[in-house]
């Protein structure tokens, strides 16, 4: 029934360390509060990422554009419990400023989050993260995305089916 909520934007959740980063693709990312700045991410109970976030109590939400689609697919189909997927991906991990989890250089924004709450929601765990630092690329100015120049990834529906957001601004 969750399929009725699609299309949804697609992100990368980075956990682990700069020595051993573990990126995981996630559609289930939601803003929760402006002040304090909070967001939530639902992570499946069997994901290696869940174990890592529970241990280190932080993560990074990285914002990919369509050029990174192949890497997004790898991060979303390979588990870090079995393979070092960072090595399979063609991205550069860089140290974050305020959290242990690294950022991804090629992503247009990296939101560094500290876990402030964790709620069991059925077969997922919902991590509430306080955004403690953000770094960003040219796709953003004053928190506004340049939608005419950059193609942000959306997951159209289950499986390898993606679209981008379109670039026409429509006023109500
Ligand atoms: C487009 C896409 C979106 C996904 N969204 C989520 C999500 O929101 N939450 C989640 O737990 N898994 C999601 N997944 C599945 C995980 O990314 C996948 O199981 C991954 O291999 C888990 O990696 P890990 O075991 O290293 O944590 C998604 C996969 C894809 C391809």
Average pLDDT, the chain: 98
pLDDT at 151: 98
Residue whose CA lies nearest to ligand 1 atom number 29: 76
Q: What span, in angstroms and rounded, lies between the C-alpha atoms of 163 and 120?
A: 30
Cα first-last separation, the chain: 29
pLDDT at 94: 98
Count Cα neighbours of 15 within 13 Å in the Cβ-side half-sphere: 25
Which residue carries 């063609």 as its tokens?
90
CA 170 to centroid of ligand 1, rounded, Å:
32
What is the average per-residue pLDDT within 112-124?
Answer: 98
Length of the chain: 172
Report yes or no: 8 and 27 within 8 Å, Cβ to Cβ: yes
Q: Which residues line ligand 1 (CB under 6 A)?
A: 10, 22, 24-28, 42-44, 47-49, 76-81, 155
pLDDT at 145: 97
Tell whether pTM > 0.85: yes
Residue whose CA lies nearest to ligand 1 atom number 18: 76
Q: What span, in angstroms and rounded, lies between the C-alpha atoms of 68 and 163?
A: 13
Mutate to test the pocket of ligand 1, among 8, 27, 46, 61 (most ligand atoms within 8 A of CB): 27
What is the average per-residue pLDDT within 141-150?
Answer: 96
CA 25 to centroid of ligand 1, rounded, Å:
5
CATH code of 2-164, in short, is 2.30.110.10
Q: What span, in angstroms and rounded, lies between the C-alpha atoms of 113 and 129?
A: 5
DSSP 13: E
């Amino acid at each position: 029934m969750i399929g009725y909520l699609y299309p949804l934007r697609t992100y990368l959740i980075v956990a682990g360390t700069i020595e051993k980063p573990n990126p995981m693709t996630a559609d289930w990312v939601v803003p929760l509060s402006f002040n304090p700045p909070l967001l939530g991410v639902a992570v499946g109970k069997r994901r290696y990422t869940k174990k890592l976030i529970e241990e280190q109590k932080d993560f990074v939400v990285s914002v990919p554009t369509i050029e990174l689609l192949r890497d997004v697919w790898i991060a979303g189909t390979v588990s870090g419990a079995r393979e070092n997927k960072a090595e399979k991906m063609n991205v550069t991990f860089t140290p974050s400023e305020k959290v242990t989890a690294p950022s991804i250089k090629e992503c247009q924004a990296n939101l560094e989050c500290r876990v402030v709450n964790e709620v069991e929601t059925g077969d997922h765990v919902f991590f509430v993260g306080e955004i403690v630092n953000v770094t960003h690329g040219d796709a953003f100015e004053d928190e506004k995305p340049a939608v005419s120049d950059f193609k942000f990834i959306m997951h159209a529906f289950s499986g390898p089916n993606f679209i981008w957001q379109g670039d026409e601004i429509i006023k109500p």
